[in-house]
Chains A and B, each alone.
Chain A
């Protein structure tokens, strides 16, 4: 089933980590195999923040294979060595869990494609996000469990999107969890509720154009599809509008960039979305109770119609 939620504060920052945790926890009945956050925090914008994993969570319910921590250590060593070779200086390093790391990088590059390809050529290593504001954090369990595990409740920023997943089309693991980074674009992330039926056809076409897929989760296609459109010069909104006909199936999805948040709904309106919009806040989720976790008072909300695309700026 899955649930998605997102919010964007316009003209101010807020405690988006805590707010999104509340929204996703309200949707936990829609799936708690894994939960993911894409948080756009307040930073000075100088350094890249790279969230990556060197292994999988092999806890209860996981479909991943158990590996020794020494394997993770070895992979991390190779990542450090590769970064050094590329001239990327690690300014700050955090290892929240044995398999999950956060690096702040002093690295001057515009095209992240080559950078990402080199890092991800290391077996078992996947970049979860790369950007100057975006941080993707995803793991097994419900929203509160993931939030507590990574101490996300203190993250302050302008906007965020998240996903509570009930695994149906692919495994219960971090690589199949949402949000997906819009590889190789800095600060682009996607969450999706639904099912795409022309996944393999689109994947073949996009891979032939040099795009990369890390999982077999159909939702990843949206991130790659829009990233490819943007690579060819389309705006975010143009890419999203193209997806209404380019992607087949049922979907409601959110895309976030450094300074914007967008939603798209398929032409059959088969997947739910409730939206609240005011001058200083847009909040949306699969169910109204998600919005109520940040706005408990009586508010005016609505369901966007079929084939609708909307984009908001911070």
Chain B
């Protein structure tokens, strides 16, 4: 393996066996130059004002209609949108790449808040499977329970469920933080590659199965450990971080973090640990 710190991005990718073909069309990667301020924004995002607030009743709307209307309201500068009557509809609030204060007065179905980057979301209800899948940045808070695959493949941001969650929470996650106030189901942290999961309650069987990297903190009982998941020492730095995170998450403020268990990957997989995050980003 080449020394990845001394070679170009293309060579790094080749060294790691990754493709290097030129990306075109919708997959084309955009690079931002901080010196060119006018170009330093996502295409299609809006300058919104958090103090400009409106309600949106989606009772008689389909999910695409509701999502389109959220986009329309953002284009008008609304920075705080309250969604009324979501009634468990699927795929609400997906693909928001904007600063936005979004509040759902009720529950969401599957794939709610998927592929978002930046919004602050509060869901005063429950969410179904795959909530906030692929979250890049921002904060999503669920006041009640969540279904399976909670926070699947998230890259960043904070995803908080004050109740309990189903199976495979944080499956394939590559960054960010998931915080669970209650219990979590089987295969939590399955194949996680980076990021942190905090569970204040109990967790089911096969915790952290096949995890590459990342850290899982558990406050309650563990059903069983998955392959490659092992205990690690809970340091004072960990405890400080946990206290800060729980305070921000508005749950478990009085929770005794010193008794939490810390679970990490027990195997060194591939060359994963050798890469600094910035190098990884460049290579991928």
Contact = CB atoms under 8 A, between A and B. Distances in A.
A274 interface: yes
Assign chain A's interface to a size class: 20 to 34
Contacts of A303: 145-148, 165-166, 185
Interface stretch (A37-45, A48-56, A293-301): A293-301
A289 interface: yes
A200 interface: no
Contact of A287 (B105, B109, B186): B109
A104 interface: no
B88 A289 contact: yes
Interface centre among A269, A287, A299 (most CB of B within 10 A): A269
13 contacts: A267-B205, A269-B148, A269-B166, A269-B204, A287-B88, A288-B126, A291-B88, A292-B88, A298-B105, A300-B126, A302-B163, A305-B183, A306-B205
Interface in A232-271: 267-270
B265 interface: no
B167 A268 contact: yes
Nearest to B182: A302
Nearest to B128: A288
Interface of A: 267-270, 272, 274, 287-289, 291-292, 296, 298-303, 305-307
Interface of B: 87-90, 105-107, 109-110, 125-126, 128-129, 144-148, 163-168, 183, 185-187, 204-205
Contacts of A269: 148, 166-168, 185-187, 204
A13 to B, nearest CB: 26
Contacts of B88: 287-289, 291-292
B128 A274 contact: yes
Contacts of A306: 167, 185-186, 204-205
A292 B148 CA distance: 19
B166 A267 contact: no
Given A298-B106, A303-B147, 19 more contacts: A268-B186, A270-B167, A272-B129, A272-B147, A274-B128, A274-B147, A287-B90, A287-B109, A288-B107, A289-B89, A289-B90, A298-B107, A298-B125, A300-B126, A301-B145, A302-B126, A305-B166, A305-B185, A307-B186
